[in-house]
Amino acid sequence: MNKTPLLRIGVIGYGYWGPNLVRSFAALQDAEVACVCDLQQPRREHLGVNYPQVPAVHDWRQLVADPSVDAVVVATPVSTHYAIAREALGNGKHVLVEKPLTVSSAEAAELIEMSRQRQLTLMVGHTFVYQGAVRKIREIVRAGELGEVLYIDSTRANFGILQDDINVVWDLAPHDISIMDFVLDRTPLSVSATGASHTTKGLEEVAFLTFYFPGGLIAHVNVSWLAPIKIRRMIIGGTRRMLVYDDLEAAAKLKIYDCSIELGEAGMKRHSDLMRRSSGDAVIPELNGTEALLMEARDFVGSIRERRPPVADGESGLRVVRLLELASRSLAARGAPVEVGDWHL
């Protein structure tokens, strides 16, 4: 019996996130890391210590031109994503690009069209949509267990790491926006953003984003590089129940609270009479504990082999980039709301 050949993966960028990607793809049974590219020699030497069988190169063009490489993973500075992904697609490679997909929706749309024309997989590294807690949240929301979703309040903060080419919105907010996109499957009507830069770089280190959805749903995202503690927390409030997702919790990332609010005509009731809360403890649902990055790697390889779109496909990358663009426009206008409009492909 002929054995299906391993899918050969090339990884471009072996800095902060690259080693995690190499580890995840190396763990798959139906794929192998064929080559890794990084400009810095110490990083290439580090790869040689941990993966002596994997060749390392310094020129990414050499990797994407290699006919023995089936797919390319891009983990480089955001400003380089478009050029590398475009050339990789042009060379017939399937492509996974770390978030955000590109620095503009025009670039993202072009990559999507290239992948369609060549029947290649284009995927973006929205890793959190593969996490067990986030997938459970989607299941809960889609099943109506929270009732009508009223608001989302998310905080993603830590001390550092300050980026040199993008601000905190483009660095951290893609995580929260991709989670909202995955869970809600709705497009906001408008975006408002405020923030401030306190360094000579002129890149905002603190920002507050608000998304206004049809029906009164509002989502708020606070992102910061200047917090004294690390916070990764999202609250979703519904008319029947509310949940808290804390990614830093080891054993109970997701808790569901039996809190509710009565909507519609209140009559003569006091405002406080519309609120209900049971005396029971929070429910902690069972979650899939498989590492999100491993799930992401499996989905990329599976989408190539099965000729199907991945969960975090190019269109999801475009939606996130478009909202980041609009948030940036609002940021420049000191929080003036920017209409989303009809921008779907």
DSSP string, 197-264: --STT---SEEEEEEE-GGG-EEEEEEESEEEEEEEEEEEEESS-EEEEETT-SS-SEEEE-EEE--S
CATH 3.30.360.10 domain span(s) along the chain: 129-290+324-339
Asked if residue 27 lies in contact with residue 3, where contact means CB atoms within 8 angstroms, the answer is no
Rg of the chain, C-alpha, whole Å: 21
User: Token digits for 38?
Assistant: 């990084």
Which range, of 57-61, 64-68, 262-266, 306-310, averages the lowest pLDDT? 262-266
CA 57 to chain CA centroid, Å, is 28
Q: Which class does domain 129-290+324-339 fall in?
A: alpha beta
**pLDDT tens string 42-97:** 999 999 999 999 999 999 999 999 999 999 999 999 999 999 999 999 999 999 99
Q: How confident is the model at residue 345, as a pLDDT? A: 40
pTM of the full structure:
0.93
For range 33-46, the mean pLDDT:
96
State which fold the 7-128+292-312 domain adopts: Rossmann fold (3.40.50)
**pLDDT tens string 173-206:** 999 999 999 999 899 999 999 999 998 788 999 9
pLDDT at 344 over 50: no
CA angle centred on 285, ends 283 and 288, rounded to 5°: 165
CATH 3.40.50.720 domain span(s) along the chain: 7-128+292-312
Q: What is the DSSP letter of 3?
A: P
